[in-house]
Amino acid sequence: MPKENRTARLTLLIDPEKKAAFEELCKQEDVTPSQKVRQFIREYVEQKLGQDWREQRAEDFD
């Protein structure tokens, strides 16, 4: 799977206990929280728009 060629920051607020649990679960899977969040987002976008969503016109996402 190719990596994205640009990055953007996403800031979110989360309950501290939930954050700690999430970080521990990620550690158990040997992934970083950022990797897991990117996976969640990728799967969500593909579920909603299909796996070929990148081939759609960029203006559709602005």
What are the Cα distances from residue 8, in Å, to 11, 24, 29, 38, 50?
A: 10, 25, 24, 11, 22
Q: State the pLDDT at residue 62.
A: 57
Instruction: Give the mean pLDDT per block of 10 residues along the chain (62 residues).
Output: 73 96 98 96 90 71 58
**CA 15, CA 18: separation in Å to the nearest integer?**
5
Tokens of 6: 């640009």
CB atoms within 10 A of CB 28: 8
**Helices 33-49 and 16-28 sit at what angle, rounded to 10 degrees?**
90
- Global pTM reads 0.73
Radius of gyration of the chain (CA): 14
Q: State the pLDDT at residue 7.
A: 83
